[in-house]
């Protein structure tokens, strides 16, 4: 292996933060309204990452009830000091707890502590910096007016997990009248303090900027090379866009790299996969970082770092639900207050209890979802379900948010219905009646061309309705900060129910161009 491919974490993995402990690297990303929160990944070579759990995996740690779509957990930072791991983060729009918090662990794979909330910490996008004199510092961003922000610093007491001392305003952005100078990370390189920030918002104008100071409290002066990384000058047709929100790490061999977010638009300026995690090399010239030396932009491939290549076993495309616990890819919408799923009531199956909650509301429906990670994919399930009433349905969902998604559900009278919901308005695209017994439901896509599939038992796949355009599932259309998630769903749609749906398996795999189960995609 001489080169690695970007992104290193495909699918909705925005706002990455990384730290190194000896030969081990740990990375976390934002998860917004999804539970468990803040996936933690482990690597030995910065290229191959294995899921190592979640920082917030207990309902008591993460009160997401009622949080709006793309609310919830924003921009975590992970750091390690004196045998303790720290993650700081912001919960935005909570109906109970909200604001900034810190959690700690001595083992990054958990357990992590209950959140220590910091009501004295204003703003969002917090970070921690441990100086070589033993003092620790908190940086964060707060809005001043109309997207104009300021980055501030206070001392952090690692013993009491609190902010102490006076506040120092460090930075207002590099560009004149800059918006959303945020995600501040502090480093000390060759005796000088380096402040790395995102700027310009999280979409096309996103960028990375840097400022320097001789004292941790400032004054900080922006680099004359700012922005040190952006793709906004490359146009919306460039295959990688919205590069920004970087965090730096130095390997044990003295090489520097940055993890950052970017998007991969396809079918025009549409990115259904959301903001993904990329890796770029960094060098230092005249005391400042040079991102992607030689090109100055995020590339699709780079030489591998000078580290021993350490791949992990690849996840299997099919989950047969034979394991005692859910796999790390699965997530819930918001924090479940009751257990509505089981892997033991019918061994070898995932059982979802039907409940009145609907995926169209800001609730926790009976749903399990995972990230879409490829522009072309196949996703399908095997379902056994006997509805007890006209409101009951179960099947697959292709989810951007509560107001923008596709539902492919088996309901009363053995009727499968494909429903498209755009900006809260629904349209039935197709229906079909299936035989008694197990039913298979599927979605496939090649780029933005999508199709729905249905099959009775072990019979052949059949197209359900015509091919349709998936651009409405992209962030530029649907809004928000997340990518598409795919998963399993059961509901009694406002009515009480004692029913359940049994899923025998779920399959997700990448498709190459035109490698479809059926040739129903438009243009074939």
Residue 90: strand pairing partners: 74, 100
pLDDT in tens, 150-179: 999 999 999 999 999 999 999 999 999 999
Q: Is 114 a catalytic residue?
A: no
pLDDT in tens, 408-455: 999 999 999 999 999 999 999 999 999 999 999 999 999 999 999 999
| 362 in Cβ contact with 402 (< 8 Å) | yes
Distance CA 5, CA 8 (A): 7
Q: Is 182 a catalytic residue?
A: yes
Distance CA 346, CA 334 (A): 25
Q: Is 504 exposed, middle or buried (0-12, 13-18, 19+ CB in 10 A)?
A: middle
Exposure string for 263-288, b = 16+ CB within 10 A, e = fewer: bbbbeebbbbbbbbbbbbbbeeeeeb
- Assess if CATH 3.30.428.10 describes domain 318-510: no
DSSP designation for 414 = G
Structural domain boundaries in the chain: 3-303, 318-510
- Assess if CATH 3.40.50.720 describes domain 3-303: no
pLDDT in tens, 171-209: 999 999 999 999 999 999 999 999 999 999 999 999 999
Tell me, what's the pLDDT at 522?
A: 36
Q: How far, CA to CA in Å, does 311 sit from each of 46, 300, 318, 518?
A: 10, 19, 20, 33
What confidence tier does 524 reach under pLDDT thresholds 50, 70, 90? very low
Taking the model in full, what pTM does it have? 0.96
| E-only strand ranges, 175-309 | 182-189, 192-199, 207-213, 221-222, 229-230, 241-250, 256-263, 276-285, 288-291, 301-303
pLDDT in tens, 356-373: 999 999 999 999 999 999
Closest CA to 287 of 235, 212, 220, 342: 212
Q: Which of 15, 247, 444, 502 is catalytic?
A: 15
Question: Would you say the C-alpha torsion 410, 411, 412, 413 has a positive or negative sign?
Answer: negative
514 has a pLDDT exceeding 90? no
Q: Token pair for residue 110?
A: 């958990």
Q: Which of 155, 182, 199, 276 is catalytic?
A: 182
């Amino acid at each position: 292996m001489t080169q690695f491919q970007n992104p290193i974490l495909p699918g909705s993995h925005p706002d990455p933060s990384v730290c190194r402990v000896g030969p081990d690297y740990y990375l976390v990303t934002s998860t917004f309204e999804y539970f468990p929160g803040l996936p933690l990944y482990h690597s030995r070579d910065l290229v191959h990452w294995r899921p190592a759990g979640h920082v917030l995996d207990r309902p008591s740690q993460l009160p997401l009830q009622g949080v709006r779509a793309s609310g919830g957990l924003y921009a975590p930072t992970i750091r390690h000091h004196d045998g303790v791991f720290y993650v700081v983060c912001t919960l935005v729009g909570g109906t109970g707890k909200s604001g900034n918090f810190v959690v700690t662990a001595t083992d990054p794979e958990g357990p992590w502590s209950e959140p220590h909330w910091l009501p004295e910490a204003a703003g969002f996008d917090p970070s921690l910096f441990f100086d070589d004199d033993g003092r620790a510092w908190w940086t964060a961003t707060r809005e001043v007016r109309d997207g104009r922000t300021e980055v501030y610093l206070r001392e952090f007491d690692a013993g009491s997990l609190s902010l102490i001392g006076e506040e120092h305003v460090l930075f207002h952005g590099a560009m004149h009248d800059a918006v959303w100078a945020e995600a501040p990370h502090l480093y000390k390189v060759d005796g000088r303090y380096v402040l790395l920030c995102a700027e310009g918002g999280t979409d096309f104008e996103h960028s990375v900027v840097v400022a320097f100071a001789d004292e941790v409290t400032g004054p900080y002066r922006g680099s004359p090379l700012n922005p040190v990384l952006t793709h906004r000058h490359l146009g919306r047709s460039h295959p990688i866009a919205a590069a920004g929100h970087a965090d730096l790490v130095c390997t044990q061999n003295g090489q520097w790299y940055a993890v950052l977010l970017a998007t991969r638009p396809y079918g025009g300026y549409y990115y259904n996969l959301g903001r993904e995690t990329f890796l770029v090399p960094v060098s230092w010239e005249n005391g400042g970082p040079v991102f992607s030396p030689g090109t100055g932009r995020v590339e699709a491939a780079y030489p591998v770092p000078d580290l021993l290549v350490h791949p992990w076993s690849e996840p299997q495309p099919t989950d047969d639900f034979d394991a005692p616990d859910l796999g790390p890819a699965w997530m819930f919408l918001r924090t479940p207050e009751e257990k509505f799923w089981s892997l033991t009531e019918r061994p070898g199956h995932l059982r979802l209890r039907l409940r009145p909650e609907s995926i169209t509301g800001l609730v926790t429906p009976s749903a399990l979802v995972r990230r879409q990670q490829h522009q072309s994919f196949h996703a399908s399930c095997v379902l056994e379900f006997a509805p007890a009433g006209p409101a009951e349905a179960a099947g697959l969902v292709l989810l951007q948010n509560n107001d923008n998604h596709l539902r492919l559900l088996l309901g009363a009278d053995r009727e499968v219905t494909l429903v498209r919901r755009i900006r809260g308005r629904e349209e039935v695209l197709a229906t079909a009646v299936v035989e008694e017994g197990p039913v298979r439901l599927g979605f496939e896509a090649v780029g933005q061309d999508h199709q729905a599939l249905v099959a009775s038992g072990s019979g052949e796949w059949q197209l359900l309705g015509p091919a349709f355009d998936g651009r409405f599932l992209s962030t530029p259309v649907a809004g928000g900060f997340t990518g598409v998630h795919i998963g399993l769903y059961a509901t009694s749609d406002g009515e009480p129910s004692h029913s359940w749906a049994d899923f025998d398996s779920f399959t997700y795999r990448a498709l190459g161009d035109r490698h479809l189960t059926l040739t129903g995609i438009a243009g074939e």
